């Protein structure tokens, strides 16, 4: 029986992994009345659900389990496939967080009268008056703020990120000290629903999507081989395109209309300007972006932020970087930071 409590209530997303389980412990330690929520999708194994149950029992918290496999396909998997079919390189976590994961956290929290929501992301929330902004986690190596930029203000105001001041090694040690039993459990991958390689996975779901085509030298235009299908490839890719050039060859350009790719050296994949679609605003304002702002920019989750002048023109977010950046790919996201705080972000245009 769950007894009434005057402690602040929080609903925590629990995947059955070490991060969310340690996040539950920290929230309890901070005085929260914690309820866990496990969203069952085609990507979460029965073992993960059982680990979530065991962690919740060990920590003495209630766990709600919801099977949302069909909806996960509708809001995450199918748009992911459609984006590749359109010649983009989608980011599934950026798609999942606002449209699926946090939306359900809010819906379930509301149905149980819970004000706060939380996850085990390595990120921070910065509150300024009635506003709340996503910020980089203290550990640059483990920071996951990039994947959260698209969360809207009404969601951000309710968020707790208990792991924001920690690194992955801190979390693993704490899990060990608490006896949560996560030894040997692998960290989740970015596209959690992918089983095997991307090309094989896409081919199974869209037969005939990947058609071999010509590969050219980006400098000379000379035909140098045949690739495995442009819709499964991305800018900057060195392996898996099927072309043996005799030297390190990166995909510098993709012509999806003609199913062709252009290969070159690493320098051919560097750019100094990036354009993204309509921005999701964090700390930045429309007026500030129209005037132009000096910010830090990331176009991949793993890259170190680079300085850039960012402006809003005709509804597009444009960034001119102070140093060339690697392989900006249409469909990925450009996330802009004011110091550690997310200023804005948008999906990169081709």
The residues carrying an active-site annotation are 96, 192
Distance CA 5, CA 186 (A): 36
- Please state, in angstroms and rounded to a whole number, the distance separating the CA atoms of residues 186 and 50: 15
CA distances from 224 to 13, 213, 216, 260, 332 (A): 49, 11, 5, 11, 28
DSSP string, 223-265: EEEEES-GGG--TT--SSS----SS--EEEEEEGGGTEEEEE-
**Secondary structure element (H or E) that encloses residue 72, with its range:** helix 69-72
d(CA 334, CA 220): 31
Answer positive or negative: Cα dihedral of 215, 325, 284, 318.
negative
Contact 168, 9 (CB under 8 A): no
Do the Cβ atoms of 294 and 282 come closer than 8 Å?
no
Rounded CA separation 256/259 (Å): 5
**β pairing state of 131-136 and 293-298:** unpaired
Cβ–Cβ under 8 Å, residues 335 and 342:
yes
């Amino acid at each position: 029986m769950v007894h009434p409590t005057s402690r602040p209530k929080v609903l925590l997303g629990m995947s059955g992994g070490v991060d969310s389980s340690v996040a539950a412990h920290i929230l309890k330690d901070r005085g929260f009345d914690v309820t866990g929520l496990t969203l069952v999708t085609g990507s979460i194994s029965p073992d993960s659900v059982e680990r979530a149950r065991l962690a919740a029992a060990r920590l003495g918290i209630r766990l709600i389990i919801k099977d949302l496999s069909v909806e996960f396909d509708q809001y995450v998997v199918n748009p992911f496939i459609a984006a590749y079919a359109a010649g983009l390189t989608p980011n599934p976590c950026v798609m999942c967080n606002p449209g699926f994961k946090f939306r359900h956290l809010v819906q379930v929290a509301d149905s149980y009268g819970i004000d706060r929501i939380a996850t085990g992301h390595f990120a921070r929330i910065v509150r300024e008056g009635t506003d709340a902004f996503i910020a980089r986690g203290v550990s640059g190596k483990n920071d996951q703020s990039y994947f959260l930029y698209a969360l809207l203000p009404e969601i951000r105001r309710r968020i707790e990120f208990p792991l924001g001041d920690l690194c992955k090694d801190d979390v693993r040690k704490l899990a060990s000290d608490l006896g949560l039993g996560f030894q040997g459990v692998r960290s989740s991958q970015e596209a959690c629903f992918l089983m095997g390689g991307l090309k094989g996975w896409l081919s199974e779901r869209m037969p005939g999507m990947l058609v071999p085509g010509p590969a050219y030298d980006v400098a000379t235009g000379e035909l140098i081989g045949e690739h495995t299908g442009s819709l499964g490839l991305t800018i900057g890719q060195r392996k898996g395109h099927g072309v043996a050039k005799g030297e390190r060859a990166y995909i510098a350009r993709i012509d999806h209309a003609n199913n062709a790719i252009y290969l070159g050296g690493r320098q051919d994949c560097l750019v100094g300007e990036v354009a993204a679609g309509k921005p999701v605003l964090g700390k930045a304002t429309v007026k500030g972006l129209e005037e132009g702002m000096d910010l830090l920019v990331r176009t991949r989750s793993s890259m170190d932020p680079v300085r850039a002048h960012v402006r809003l023109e005709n509804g597009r977010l444009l960034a001119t970087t102070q140093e060339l950046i690697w392989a900006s790919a249409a469909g990925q996201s450009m996330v802009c930071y004011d110091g550690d705080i997310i200023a804005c972000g948008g999906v990169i245009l081709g």
